[in-house]
Amino acid sequence: MCSYLNLKFEVNGHIAIITINHPPANTWNLKTFKEFENAINRVEDDNDIRVLIVTGAGEKCFSAGFDVNDTANVHLTSPLGRKLWQRIDRFPKPVIAAINGHALGGGLELAMSCHFRIMVDEPKVKLGLTELNLGIIPGWGGTQRLSRIVGKKTALDMILFSKRVSPHTALKIGLVDQISDSLMEDVLDLSQKLANLPPIAVRCVLNAFSAGLYDGLAAGLAKEAEGSAIVRETEDRNEGFAAFLEKREPHFLGR
């Protein structure tokens, strides 16, 4: 098993948890990116892992984005950030952002790449793309994903004026799906529900979603048709129908 300097990695049953552990603000430098890439490779390659949770160490920050102490490697970290956040956006297994603290800049861009976002209900915690304060712009997908999530007008207002929003505002505008005063308990509850689903069918749904988003409607429909053919041949499909007829909960094995 690999050990990491700036991340924590653990697996509980079908659920993997990656914790960004780069104090004081869980920022991203080249080392952290490379460790994260290694960790998500492990998650994707392990058929027993069905769900990924991404969170931050401590109570202050989920992630404050780019590590300004690593500007010497910016020519490497910027394209790597775009690549890895897009990979999370298109990940074939559900990814949940457990937003335990501030998510700013590239940290919010990572959270927006996840399929689900649950945020701690703490008024002092803020979300925002604040890059324009530094004379730069969101560069890891923020200009595109924020507008798709909250709409063009709200996204422009947040980005151009570097606005930071509270948990309740984030929930109201749809930037997060849920706020919680029992964050990890609620995240693990959702994770378990997702892990109980038929994993091959889940993968096919996520692949169809991402194909439609990135490659257009025709590509999404083609990927949907491909997925329908795949799941028809699975044992999980037979189990699903049998459980329905027998009026019991299905037990999906991922094959």
Instruction: Please say whether the beta carbons of 100 and 55 come within 8 A.
Output: yes
For the question of residue 235 being annotated catalytic, the response is no
Averaging pLDDT over each range in 65-69, 71-75, 192-196, which range is the top one? 192-196
Domains of the chain, by residue range, sit at 7-195, 199-245
pLDDT at site 166: 97
On the question of pLDDT at 182 being above 80, the answer is yes
Superfamily of domain 7-195 in the CATH hierarchy: 2-enoyl-CoA Hydratase; Chain A, domain 1 (3.90.226.10)
On the question of pLDDT at 255 being above 80, the answer is yes
Rounded CA separation 210/90 (Å): 6
On the question of pLDDT at 1 being above 70, the answer is no
pLDDT at site 2: 67
Considering the candidates 109, 122, 185, 226, report the single residue annotated as catalytic. Answer: 109
Q: Which helix (H) or strand (E) holds 226?
A: helix 217-232
118: tokens are 């649950």
106: tokens are 């590239």
pLDDT at site 68: 87
What DSSP character marks residue 71? G
Considering the candidates 59, 131, 235, 239, report the single residue annotated as catalytic. Answer: 131
On the question of pLDDT at 59 being above 90, the answer is no
- pLDDT, averaged across the chain: 95
Instruction: Please say whether the beta carbons of 216 and 223 come within 8 A.
Output: no
For the question of residue 131 being annotated catalytic, the response is yes
- pLDDT one-digit tens code per residue, 213-230: 999 999 999 999 999 999
